[in-house]
């Protein structure tokens, strides 16, 4: 049953397990767009996708309070989706409570976790290293633009499909999906058959 409702939810996930629990999947559940995290979760889904593995818990050893909870939420969000949440409130309340219970921190401390600054940047770097990911470089960006222009847009130019392709490609390459700022620093491709302004526009709307 979905927490807070009386209707069952069928989860069509087909993720493969990894050493950290789950391979990230931006399209794990139906009924939502690729850049939205679903808001309703069953108890089984929370247990499957938001339970910290022993090695993940080890990363929390020197963290307390809101920092401990915020880090744990960031970690499991990246494991689940292959990217970090855009904003603090992107994480559903049921998820926060489930994670908070595991790390022995009151869920109401979550809003105190700073969503900008040195601490969260350090936490993101820790998580990328732990999961074997890295930030997208300028070269990665140029190759991604080329790949989208040649392999994706000719078959399906819809924006939601482009966003999904970006997430899937980044996950396959084990790179964090780029930010809007990084996209605008990428080199211009004069040979882009669909026009770089169109392509970059779709990329910006899919960025983290």
Q: Could you read off the pLDDT of 131-150 as tens digits, one per residue?
A: 999 988 878 878 888 888 88
102 and 142 in one domain? no
Average pLDDT over residues 144-170: 81
Q: Are 81 and 25 in contact (CB under 8 A)?
A: yes
Report how many domains make up the chain.
2
Per-residue pLDDT at 155: 83
| Amino acid 104: pLDDT | 97
Q: How far is CA 23 from the centre of its chain?
A: 11
**Shared domain check, 88 and 12:** yes
Looking at residue 63, what is its pLDDT? Answer: 97
pLDDT digits (tens, 9 = 90+) for 12-60: 232 333 333 333 333 333 334 445 688 889 999 999 999 999 999 999 9
Residue 178, pLDDT score: 73
Task: Please check whether residues 138 and 123 belong to one and the same domain.
Answer: no
Q: Are residues 102 and 147 in the same domain?
A: no
Confidence of residue 81 (pLDDT cuts 50, 70, 90): confident
**What pLDDT does residue 137 have?**
83
Q: Convert the chain into a string of H (helix), E (strand) and C (coil).
A: CECCCCCCCCCCCCCCCCCCCCCCCCCCCCCCCCCCCCCCCEHHHHHHHHCCCHHHHHCCCCCCHHHHHHHHHHHHHHHHHCCCCCCHHHCCHHHHHHHHHHHCCCHHHHHHCCCCCHHHHHHHHHHHHHHCCEECCHHHHHHHHHHHHHHHCCCCCCHHHHHHHHHHHHHHHCEECCCHHHHHHCCCCCCCCCCHHHHHHHHHCCCC
Distances (CA, A) of 117 to 34, 113, 121, 123: 27, 11, 6, 10
The per-residue pLDDT for 185 is: 52
Boundary (domain end) residue, out of 112, 132, 152: 132
Q: Which of 132, 148, 179 is the endpoint of a domain? A: 132
Confidence (pLDDT) at 145: 81
Q: Same domain, yes or no, for 78 and 121? A: yes
Distance (Å, rounded) from C-alpha 98 to C-alpha 46? 7
Of residues 104 and 205, more confidently modeled: 104
> Do 174 and 76 belong to one domain?
no
User: What is the mean predicted confidence (pLDDT) over 1-17?
Assistant: 33
72 and 127 share one domain: yes
Q: 174 and 99 in one domain? A: no
Domain end call among 132, 151, 184:
132
The CA distance from 37 to 19, in Å, is 23
Same domain, yes or no: 116 and 193 = no
Which residue did the predictor score with more confidence, 61 or 26? 61
Same domain for 182 and 83: no
Query: Quick one: 119 and 186 in the same domain?
Result: no
Lowest average pLDDT, out of 22-26, 123-127, 129-133, 193-197, goes to: 22-26
CA distance 136 to 165: 15
Segments forming the whole domain that contains residue 15: 1-132
Q: Residue 2's beta-bridge partner residues?
A: 42
Position 106 pLDDT exceeds 80: yes
The mean pLDDT of 142-169, rounded to a whole number, is 81
Do 45 and 79 lie in a common domain? yes
Burial class from Cβ neighbours inside 10 Å (0-12, 13-18, 19+) for residue 202 reads buried
**Mean pLDDT over the full length of the chain:** 76
Q: What is the pLDDT of residue 205?
A: 56
Please compute the mean of the pLDDT values over residues 91-108 and round it to a whole number.
96
Q: What is the pLDDT of residue 160?
A: 74
């Amino acid at each position: 049953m979905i927490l807070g409702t009386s209707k069952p939810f069928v989860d069509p996930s087909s993720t493969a397990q990894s050493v950290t629990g789950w391979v990230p999947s931006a399209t794990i559940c139906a009924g939502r767009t690729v850049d939205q995290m679903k808001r309703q979760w069953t108890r089984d889904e929370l247990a499957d996708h938001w339970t910290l593995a022993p090695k993940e818990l080890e990363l929390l050893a020197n963290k307390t309070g809101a920092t401990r909870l915020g880090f744990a939420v960031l970690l499991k969000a990246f494991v689940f989706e292959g990217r970090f949440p855009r904003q603090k409130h992107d994480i559903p309340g049921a998820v926060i409570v489930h994670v908070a219970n595991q790390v022995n921190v009151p869920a109401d401390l979550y809003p105190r976790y700073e969503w900008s600054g040195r601490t969260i940047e350090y936490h993101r770097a820790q998580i990328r290293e732990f999961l074997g990911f890295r930030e997208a470089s300028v070269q990665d960006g140029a190759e991604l633009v080329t790949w989208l222009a040649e392999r994706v847009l000719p078959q399906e130019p819809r924006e939601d499909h482009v966003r999904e392709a970006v997430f899937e490609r980044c996950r396959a390459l084990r790179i964090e999906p780029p930010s809007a700022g990084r996209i605008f620093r990428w080199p211009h491709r004069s040979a882009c058959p669909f026009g770089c302004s169109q392509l970059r526009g779709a990329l910006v709307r899919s960025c983290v």
